[in-house]
Structure 1
Amino acid sequence: MHRVARASIIVSVIFTAVLTFQIFISVDEAQPAGTHTTFTIDHVDSPKKSAALRAIDESASRLHINIFKIQAGTTNSFQTRTLYAFIGDRDSLSRSGGYSYPIFSTQSQRTTITPADRITTEDLRGVYATSADHSQMTSILADLRKAGISADDSTATGLEIFVYALGPANLGAAFVIVYVALALALAYSGTTNRKAHAIKSLHGYGRAPILGAELGSAGATFGLGLAALLLVGTPVLWAVTRFHQVWRFAGFLGTGLGVLALLTAVLVTVLGGVATLRHRIPEVLKGERAPLADGVLAAATQVIVLAVVLASISGAMWRIEAVSRTSRELSRWSQMPPAYALRLSTASTHDDDLRDAPALTSIISRMDRQGTVLMTGYKGGELANGGDGTTPPGPEGSNSMIVNPKYLGVQPVLGTDGHRIRNIATARNGFTLLVPASYQGDVGALLATYTKYFKEYSCLLGAPKSTPPCAPHGRVIRTAAGQQLFTFKGTDPSPAEDQERTSLTDPVLAVVSPSSGLIGPMEYLSYTSLNSVLFFDADDLEQQLTRAGIRGHFQGIDNAADAVTETLAASRLEQRMDVFGISLGLVVLILATMVSAAVYCDRRRRTSFVQLLHGYGFTRRHGPLLAGDLGLAVLTATATMMIGGMHLPRDLAAAAILVAAQVSVAALFVRVYETRSRADFIKRP
């Protein structure tokens, strides 16, 4: 077996282990240790919460299983969770770690297990994990229906978890590249071994022994990769996980490596064995030309890998910009009191929103009077995804925000006289429009746009029927040009590149107090769901939500600065995988280009030599190859950029560099091949 194929197998083994590790983190989130299935409660008709809890507990006891309600943590809700346990099988609970959850890695959610009788304000709707098998799941759902609880089996399939796991670790590009490279390397290995196979056939070896030798060589290499993985991976696994859930992880790893072994065997059989044995012995021994199929496979690999690498480079550059921007803005959070974002429950329905939004609005209004809430309504999120930000200024414009008076106390805004604007009070139906001096449009028309927005849309959202109609009236204050204002965004539980803009230059600000009545309850709920409402007193917020009876509508009160830190950590993990995926992709792209050039040189061996004797220059002899490589690369890059909606100037430069490098590698390889093979051209037909 060719050394390139051996290296590809070993790399595939190691990458499969890394991929399995990331998949297992996702498995642990979806299916905690000691559980096998999940169900989701979407509606509870029980007259009392205690009756519903008792029904779940009785089902667990009757079936001799454990049921865990998966509840997001009350703080840092996307990184912590609580499992409320309904225990029907204490032995099973003990085997999986008891009430001390075996957290797999630092990337995993921090998990706490507590008895179900500690459920108080938590919403009973949501996801439950169980130790039941699929046959017992039917009994659980039947028990719940009898108790007036509507639930469905929501156990995730292996494919769903696999696809989800590729995202957070940014492993999609590397996944495609590694296994495409494995196929190409094994095909190339089979081509290089054609003569050896022919000689064995000449000495009486049948196809089965020859194929068995190839599979044995691949198996030995696979075993070498496993040995390296065991030697290096074991101490790394201990350092990262302290061997928590090690046997459960070992089962997943064994499955992943088993699938890889089967894939390798199939590829060796089809690409490196059977296809090679179809060649006739005399032609092979005389130097039969390389199979055209190898060239087609190499060209296809070039297309796939070039597209993946270009997309990865584009994503990596955008990620670098986003991380740099978010890192700069992180210092802004340290300069202000701790702020908290209120996360909505994923189990809530539209009816819940309509019912609870007025109570939330009352809480926001009360805390606004106390100066402990900040609102920065910004809906220009397309900028986070590469938009050009050309939406005209307005209530939902890309360079506009709707804020409460507290914003001016936290973010300095200067008037045209150079003095800071403070203490803007807005009475019932009143608002103040801060328009930068750089705005060249009709200020009166802009004010009318906001007035119409508040009157015909905003104040009506979720407002009770008894609420009197609003009659907005605003005033305009001009602000100094050239100001960059903080949006207080970046607190979503997602990487930095998926966040909204954290700063705007010369935005239009509409200053609106909750007491003005110009923003309806559902609009405040919408702003809260978009993390546009931040609170400065988490304890007071917790108490007010509980007193209002709507605490279960929200899953967590998260520290905003901590959320930004988590955002940066997620992006930096993706950046590490960017480096790995792009580096690997470049190596495979070079390999595919060399294989394609090798097939070309082998098939045109005689023609090229004759043209050389007749004085044809290098470009004239090999122009078709170089033009073909260039055309294929340009088409691939163009299609990738069009489909991906990439940033044209920056990504065009990256594509040009990649295309030029690919054509240069092909030309260099052909030059070296010709130089080293001229003597052979004369000797061989």
Structure 2
Amino acid sequence: MLHRGIKFVHAAVLAFSAVLAFLFVRGLDEDGVLGNSALIWVFDSDDSTSGAQVAQAIASFSADHGVTVAREVPDMRDPDGHRHLYLAPGDRQSGAGSWLDEGYPAFSRNYTTDVHPIAEIGQRDPRGEYYVFGAPAAADALVAEFADLGLRAGVTHPLSYTTLAAAYTGGVLWGSFWVVALAAVTMTGASVLLSAKAYGILRLQGMSFGGLLVRDLRQLAVSWSVAVGAVAAVTLAFLGFYNGLAWLGMFATVAGGLAGLFILLVLAAHAAVLALTFKVDVLRALKGELPARAATISVYLVRIPALLLALSIATDVAAAGQDVLARQESRTAYADAGDAVTIRLNGSLPSETDQVIKEVGPWLRRADREGKVILAGRRDLQSIAQSAQLPPGEVLVVNETFLAKQPVLDPTGRRYTPVAQDGKSPETHPVRLIIPESLSRQAATITAAIPEVLASGFDRHTQLETLPAKSGQHVFAYNPGNQVYNAAHSPKEDRSLVRDPVVVVVPNGSKFLSDDGYTAFATQEGVVFPDPDDVLGAIAANKGNKGNKLQTYVTAVRPVGQNSALKLRDAVNEFRVQLFNLILAVIVLLIAGVGVCIIYSRKNAQAIFVQHISGWRYTVTHRFILSLELALAVLLATRVPFETWSRNQQLEKLAAAGTPLPHPLVHLTELDLSVIAGLVAVEFGAVLLALAVFHGRIVREGATEA
């Protein structure tokens, strides 16, 4: 009979293929519209053609070329979970053209897509993203059509193999694939080794290597068919409930490809380990003996990469867990923000940066002067005076309204309050620079650097008041800070609660902050509107007004609380996947560790028994394998600290030379060290336990035979 472990592996990889395919396709659907052959980004315009004329030209192009073209526009109120497709169908009866009547077949339930005729797009600025559904060559023809309309555009293929490979290589799902593959190969090899005695009997009956392999595959075919049917039935039932079997063909293709890769790896491992059993003659095989040298090398070829992979995943799990905890800690602050929103500026206007600043900056200043804005701009502390070697930290550029919402304490614990509005020009009030006591030694350097943060006409000698702040306090900054470079933090780390920031308090709407500064902070989610209607009303009031194109530059509002909730959801999902990867990696380690002990004990059973009855100490009898495992444990325990130290040494050399750091310094936390210690204990402890069990069995069996 075929070992049940092999049957389990084949059923498991089929199930894992379905799960990984689901996560992959769901991610694709949330990142963009499925089914497209090309994506065209229109990034410049000479303003010779109106949005309505462009929409009409696209409709004619679709009809002439038999392809469907769709313009994607984020929803104004929910840009992270809702999009609109303005569609020009090539054939309204089939393919993407049918979405006008049937709606977009969403694979993910986390994202909503509404489909509209392209004529409804009206006078919206034509710059943005357009999907092409049909022959890929049509994308180039559409770019040429855009050029005739005075538009500049570029073509990408987001669903091509090369693009997807570049986007997902090194990601969480990529790691999941290799962990599952390693686990499947390890379990298959272990199952074949455990059947060594049964294979010896079959060899005694005259079966060759090819005959044994064909026999195993024949027996596997029955259980494999059952597993395929069971996994397919469960998957179809789930997808039918989840999304009505949307994009079933794409899902089946991805799942089938993954399953095929897994099965090939498993079959290769099966054949390779089966071939190893033929390295032992039939009589010794009947006793369960294995080719010790080749088998041991093979196991360690799996075990050492598994150790390094598990270590890498363990540190990722620790980082992901800390990220989740940090985001949960800031949830209360985001909840208190209520319906507050930030604005999303149009990213398809790189050639009109000056015009964007000219339109958006004064509008934000007026809103700030009217008390409709909470300013929470951010700068990296080291970046404001790179030659001064300031310590890592952050600068918050805020307005008086911010102080009314968020507490900033002086050294005695009293809260700084906003300056009362007296009807005078805001420039009559000074800028307040609040520096934590922990940075008191750098106060002069920071004070001298502040003019670089504010408008060029600012005079720090007459318009700046320096005040102290209590050390150790956390200030809520209304955004996670991911769009602002910081030498001490990861780009994905949640920095919503900023520890000991330098706070620059600018009077509401004053010219101490430039139009460029307002616009830059807006792109970093640092300009917050407590009432979304203040944004939506301003946009609606200027629609159709050619003198003010605010509706062109502000494409959506983003609720700060909802944005935080979505990031927390993503962080929790990533933590779960990483934890799943770690569990599988640990299982691989345990299986490989037990496999080492099986091979070692079967090869040396007689010598172990003789040494035991001769009074040898346990550690002396097993000194070779214990020394080898101890060396691996030391490698596992010291690898991450050594790599961290080495990397930080290189970064410190760059910092000393005045070179901006490419990424932050790495600091090992107690959680990191605890995870590494736990992994070492599990790995080394499992081998010690397995070795003790096999040692006792050898002694008992030897005593019985004697």
- 1:213 to 1:497, Cα distance in 2 relative to 1, 3 A: farther
Q: Which of the residues 399, 402, 417 maps onto 1:421?
A: 417
Q: Say yes or no: does 1:103 pair with 2:106.
A: yes
Residue equivalent to 1:240: 242
Residue equivalent to 1:385: none
Residue equivalent to 2:385: none
Contact 2:311 2:636 (C-alpha < 8 Å) held by counterparts: no
Residue equivalent to 1:386: none
C-alpha separation between the residues in 2 aligned to 1:178 and 1:11?
9
Q: Which of the residues 680, 692, 696 maps onto 1:675?
A: 696
C-alpha separation between the residues in 2 aligned to 1:659 and 1:488?
40
C-alpha separation between the residues in 2 aligned to 1:60 and 1:215?
52
- Note the C-alpha offset of 1:626: 1.9
Contact 1:45 1:149 (C-alpha < 8 Å) held by counterparts: yes
Contact 2:427 2:511 (C-alpha < 8 Å) held by counterparts: no
Q: Say yes or no: does 1:486 pair with 2:476.
A: yes
C-alpha separation between the residues in 2 aligned to 1:216 and 1:628?
40
Residue equivalent to 1:536: 530
Superposition pairs of residues 73-92 of structure 1, within 5 angstroms: 73-92=75-94
Instruction: Give the TM-score, by structure 2 length.
Output: 0.83
- Note the C-alpha offset of 1:370: 1.0
Residue equivalent to 2:14: 13
C-alpha separation between the residues in 2 aligned to 1:555 and 1:213?
64
- 1:282 to 1:555, Cα distance in 2 relative to 1, 3 A: farther
Residue equivalent to 2:377: 377
Contact 2:90 2:97 (C-alpha < 8 Å) held by counterparts: no
- Note the C-alpha offset of 1:30: 5.3
Q: Deviations 1:286-330 (Å, cap 9, x if unpaired)?
A: 654334343233323333333333333333333333333333332
Q: Which moved more, 1:305-314 or 1:622-631?
A: 305-314
Residue equivalent to 2:605: 605
Q: Say yes or no: does 1:189 pair with 2:191.
A: yes
Contact 1:535 1:541 (C-alpha < 8 Å) held by counterparts: yes
Contact 1:399 1:508 (C-alpha < 8 Å) held by counterparts: yes
Q: Deviations 1:559-607 (Å, cap 9, x if unpaired)?
A: 1111111122212222332442232222222111111222222333343
Superposition pairs of residues 130-279 of structure 1, within 5 angstroms: 130-156=132-158, 157-158=160-161, 160-161=163-164, 164=167, 170-269=172-271, 271-277=272-278
State the number of aligned residues.
657
Q: Say yes or no: does 1:303 pair with 2:324.
A: no
C-alpha separation between the residues in 2 aligned to 1:243 and 1:516?
56
Give the residue type in structure 1 aligned to 2:677: A
- 1:207 to 1:480, Cα distance in 2 relative to 1, 3 A: closer
C-alpha separation between the residues in 2 aligned to 1:415 and 1:138?
61
- 1:516 to 1:671, Cα distance in 2 relative to 1, 3 A: same
- 1:266 to 1:160, Cα distance in 2 relative to 1, 3 A: farther
C-alpha separation between the residues in 2 aligned to 1:626 and 1:204?
39
Q: Which moved more, 1:617-626 or 1:535-544?
A: 535-544
- Note the C-alpha offset of 1:550: 4.1
Contact 1:357 1:522 (C-alpha < 8 Å) held by counterparts: yes
- Note the C-alpha offset of 1:479: 4.5
- Note the C-alpha offset of 1:398: 1.0
- Note the C-alpha offset of 1:191: 2.9
C-alpha separation between the residues in 1 aligned to 2:54 and 2:344?
25
Contact 1:493 1:567 (C-alpha < 8 Å) held by counterparts: no
- Note the C-alpha offset of 1:362: 0.4
Contact 2:344 2:523 (C-alpha < 8 Å) held by counterparts: yes
- Note the C-alpha offset of 1:66: 0.8
C-alpha separation between the residues in 2 aligned to 1:3 and 1:70?
51
C-alpha separation between the residues in 2 aligned to 1:381 and 1:635?
38
Contact 2:398 2:505 (C-alpha < 8 Å) held by counterparts: yes
- Note the C-alpha offset of 1:185: 1.9
Q: Deviations 1:602-640 (Å, cap 9, x if unpaired)?
A: 333343333223321111111221221122133134334
Structure 1, unaligned stretches of length 5 or more?
A: 383-389, 461-468
Q: Deviations 1:612-669 (Å, cap 9, x if unpaired)?
A: 2332111111122122112213313433455574624332222122212222211111
Q: Which of the residues 471, 475, 497 maps onto 2:459?
A: 471
Contact 1:303 1:636 (C-alpha < 8 Å) held by counterparts: no
- 1:235 to 1:331, Cα distance in 2 relative to 1, 3 A: same
C-alpha separation between the residues in 1 aligned to 2:513 and 2:294?
66
- Note the C-alpha offset of 1:374: 1.2
Contact 1:412 1:420 (C-alpha < 8 Å) held by counterparts: yes
- 1:414 to 1:679, Cα distance in 2 relative to 1, 3 A: closer
Task: State the SS of the aligned residue for 2:309.
Answer: helix
Structure 2, unaligned stretches of length 5 or more?
A: 383-387, 485-489, 645-665
Task: State the SS of the aligned residue for 2:593.
Answer: helix
The CA RMSD measured in Å over matched residues stands at: 3.4
C-alpha separation between the residues in 2 aligned to 1:247 and 1:129?
20
Give the residue type in structure 2 aligned to 1:340: V
Give the residue type in structure 2 aligned to 1:459: A
- Note the C-alpha offset of 1:87: 1.3
- Note the C-alpha offset of 1:241: 2.1
- Note the C-alpha offset of 1:534: 1.0
- Note the C-alpha offset of 1:37: 3.5
Q: Deviations 1:53-75 (Å, cap 9, x if unpaired)?
A: 33322221111111112222222
Residue equivalent to 2:315: 314
Q: Deviations 1:21-60 (Å, cap 9, x if unpaired)?
A: 0111133345635534433333345611344333322221
Contact 2:532 2:557 (C-alpha < 8 Å) held by counterparts: yes
Q: Which moved more, 1:171-180 or 1:619-628?
A: 171-180
Contact 2:479 2:560 (C-alpha < 8 Å) held by counterparts: no
C-alpha separation between the residues in 2 aligned to 1:416 and 1:661?
47
C-alpha separation between the residues in 2 aligned to 1:97 and 1:358?
38
Task: State the SS of the aligned residue for 2:330.
Answer: helix
Residue equivalent to 1:463: none
Q: Deviations 1:540-562 (Å, cap 9, x if unpaired)?
A: 32454555314333442111111
Task: State the SS of the aligned residue for 1:347.
Answer: coil
- 1:64 to 1:445, Cα distance in 2 relative to 1, 3 A: closer
Contact 2:343 2:522 (C-alpha < 8 Å) held by counterparts: yes
Task: State the SS of the aligned residue for 1:434.
Answer: strand
Q: Which moved more, 1:14-23 or 1:237-246?
A: 237-246
Task: State the SS of the aligned residue for 1:76.
Answer: coil
